[in-house]
């Protein structure tokens, strides 16, 4: 278990380091203004789908269906054709009507800003069919317990964007955002190439190609499997994408605020996503195939044992990450972004948003773990109900907190919704099971360690301030 987790974590760390290099270069070149806002808006929608598909949600509905299929090659080809066709049609519509798509993403933008952003939205959206194909192939690789390619491949997107920033150095900010947008598409192509190569190396390319060859002849044999998958797909995707939809909602509402608010949310969320991806998402991706197999074989004892080990692993890492990012929010933001066009005011605003996001790291991270149990038992409808309640609370608190707290209020609303989602997830998982996990000496160790770590961080903060 831990070998797979560390493989995922190391790959994600590699990609996120490159991502931070990309972000600090972007912050230096664009700062937090209208041009950074329109690029982040343009990249937001395809990136939303990437997170929904790539970070476990698609895997958690496809793998149980794939494992139970009696005609896996044909089933795989059939599902790919259906979903890819829908995404391709959507991409074509966005490119034909980019201004409508832009208005839907950022309704608060004025006509001039929408005119600037629309071509970028159209370009960036071509990343979506590419990353869906990547995700589909990565799910097959993960079923074979090959995680490295997917974990490291996101780095190719970041490398493409870094090169785009390097090539566009000295150009106007308007030209830079176009270079970045084409860099997004180039990154998607590179990710697809390495996944095709990995699939071929593991001998899975014959399975995929064979499925397309026999899809007409054997379509009737997978009719029931396909029907069941379709019934579970939308609830499963919806149930596992609350955090991503919440982040999208933040951006949508932030378009009504002053210029720079979208950028503050973006930069803060990027820092928040690092420990979430590095620990929670990496763990859930590595753990799910084993949990699904145990549940399928009616072996709940071993499934719970795996879950318990992962729980304490995450509880310590996420708690310490939360404390570190909240106490050192200003210092982290200053170190990463304050240079070039990114001012000290931008640092202060981003740091406050970061604090609000980080309060929700623990519930969001642990919820991902316990959702594995729900998906392994194919309770997708329950997960969808949790997501609906979570998103509803996010919308309510976003509207309440938007005006008094601005961008920070949107981040705080997301955090509150994270606690709602975690509570409802534990309610389905079983409160008794959850409290059985907590009845451990590790709970005391966690509290004691948190107190000591907080004291050390406060000392470190005072020390850093001498040199800032």
DSSP 258-293: -TTHHHHHHHHHHHHHHHIIIIIIHHHHHHHHHHHH
3-state secondary structure of 126: coil
Nearest to 370 by CA among 291, 440, 453, 449: 291
3-state DSSP: the chain helix, strand, coil percent, rounded to 5? Answer: 85, 0, 15
How far does CA 170 lie from the centroid of its chain?
32
Per residue in 162-217, pLDDT (tens digit) is 999 889 888 888 888 899 999 999 999 999 999 999 888 888 777 777 667 667 66
pLDDT of residue 8: 63
The pLDDT value recorded for residue 441 is 86
User: What predicted TM-score, i.e. pTM, was given to this entire model?
Assistant: 0.71
| Measured distance CA(94)–CA(88) in Å, rounded | 10
What is the residue-averaged pLDDT of the chain? 83
Token pair recorded at residue 59: 């895997």
Per-residue pLDDT for 300 more than 70?
Answer: yes
* Residue 57 pLDDT > 70: no
Q: Which two tokens stand for residue 170?
A: 């000295």
Res 240: pLDDT: 63
Question: Is pLDDT of 232 > 80?
Answer: no
Lowest mean pLDDT among 191-195, 225-229, 351-355, 391-395: 225-229
Domain boundaries, the chain: 2-467
- Centre a 10 Å sphere on the Cβ of residue 169 and count the other Cβ atoms it contains: 10
pLDDT tens digits along 9-49: 677 778 778 877 887 788 777 876 778 778 877 777 777 76
Residue 55 predicted with pLDDT over 80: no
pLDDT at 423: 95
In this predicted structure, what is the pLDDT of residue 34? 77
Q: Provide mean pLDDT across the span 442-463.
A: 90
Flag whether pLDDT at 53 surpasses 70.
Answer: no
Cα 318 to Cα 331: distance, rounded to the nearest angstrom = 19
How far is residue 332 from each of residues 24, 217, 233, 353, measured CA to CA in Å?
A: 12, 58, 39, 13
Strands (DSSP E) contained in 288-341 are: none
Which of 296, 378, 277 minimizes the C-alpha distance to 60?
A: 378
pLDDT in tens, 258-286: 777 888 888 898 899 888 887 887 777 77
Q: Which of 15, 25, 8, 41 lies closest to 262, judged by CA?
A: 41
Residue 56 confidence (pLDDT)? 55
Confidence label for 330 from pLDDT (cuts 50, 70 and 90): very high
Give the whole-angstrom CA distance, residue 347 versus residue 24.
12
Which is higher by pLDDT, 229 or 32? Answer: 229
Predicted confidence (pLDDT) per residue in 72-86, tens digit: 778 888 888 888 888
Please check the confidence at residue 323 and state whether its pLDDT lies above 90.
Answer: yes
Q: Which of 68, 59, 441 is nearest to 241 (CA)?
A: 59
Residue 274 is predicted with a pLDDT of: 85
Question: What percentage of the chain exceeds 90 in pLDDT?
Answer: 26
How far is it, in rounded angstroms, from Cα 402 to Cα 398? 6
- Within 328-406, where are the H helices? 329-337, 344-358, 361-376, 380-405
Evaluate if residue 2 carries a pLDDT over 60: no
Place of tokens 């990136």: 47
Q: Write down the pLDDT at residue 131.
A: 87
The answer to whether the Cα torsion of 142, 385, 421, 371 is positive or negative is: negative
């Amino acid at each position: 278990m831990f070998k797979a987790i560390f493989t995922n974590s190391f790959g994600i760390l590699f990609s996120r380091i490159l991502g931070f290099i990309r972000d600090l270069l972007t912050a230096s070149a664009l700062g937090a203004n209208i041009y950074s806002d329109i690029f982040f808006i343009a990249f937001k929608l395809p990136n939303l789908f990437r997170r929904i598909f790539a970070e476990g949600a698609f895997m958690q509905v496809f793998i149980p269906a794939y494992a139970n299929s009696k005609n896996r090659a044909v089933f795989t080809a059939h599902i790919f054709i259906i979903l890819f066709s829908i995404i391709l049609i959507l991409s074509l519509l966005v490119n034909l009507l980019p201004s409508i798509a832009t208005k839907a993403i950022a309704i608060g933008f004025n006509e001039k800003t929408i005119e600037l952003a629309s071509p970028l939205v159209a370009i960036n959206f071509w990343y979506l069919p590419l990353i869906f194909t990547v995700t589909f192939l990565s799910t097959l690789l993960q079923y074979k317990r090959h995680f490295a390619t997917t974990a490291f491949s996101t780095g190719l997107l970041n490398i493409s964007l870094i090169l785009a920033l390097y090539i566009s150095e000295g150009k106007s900010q308007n030209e830079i955002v176009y270079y970045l947008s084409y860099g997004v598409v180039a990154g998607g192509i590179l990710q697809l190439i390495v996944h095709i190569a990995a699939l071929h190396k593991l001998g899975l390319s014959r399975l995929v190609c064979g499925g397309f060859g026999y899809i007409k002849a054997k379509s009737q044999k997978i009719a029931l499997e396909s029907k069941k998958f379709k019934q579970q797909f939308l609830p499963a995707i919806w149930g596992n994408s609350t955090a991503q939809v919440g982040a999208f909602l933040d951006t949508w509402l932030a378009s009504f605020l002053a210029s720079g608010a979208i950028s503050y949310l973006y930069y803060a969320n990027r820092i928040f996503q690092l420990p979430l991806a590095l620990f929670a998402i990496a763990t859930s991706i590595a753990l799910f195939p084993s949990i699904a197999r145990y549940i399928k074989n009616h072996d709940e004892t071993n499934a719970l044992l795996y879950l318990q080990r992962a729980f304490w692993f995450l509880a310590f890492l996420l708690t310490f990450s939360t404390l570190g990012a909240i106490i050192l929010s200003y210092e982290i933001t200053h170190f990463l972004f304050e240079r070039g066009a990114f001012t000290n005011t931008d640092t202060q605003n981003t740091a406050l948003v970061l604090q609000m996001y980080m309060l929700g790291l623990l519930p969001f991270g642990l919820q991902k773990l316990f959702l594995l149990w729900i998906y392994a038992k194919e309770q997708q409808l329950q997960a969808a109900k949790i997501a609906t309640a979570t998103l509803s609370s996010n919308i309510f608190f976003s509207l309440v907190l938007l005006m008094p707290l601005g961008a920070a209020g949107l981040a705080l609303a997301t955090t509150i919704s994270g606690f709602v989602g975690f509570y409802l997830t534990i309610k389905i998982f079983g409160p008794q099971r959850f409290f059985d996990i907590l009845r451990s000496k590790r709970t005391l160790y966690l509290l004691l360690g948190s107190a000591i770590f907080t004291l050390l961080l406060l000392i470190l903060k005072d020390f850093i301030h001498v040199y800032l």
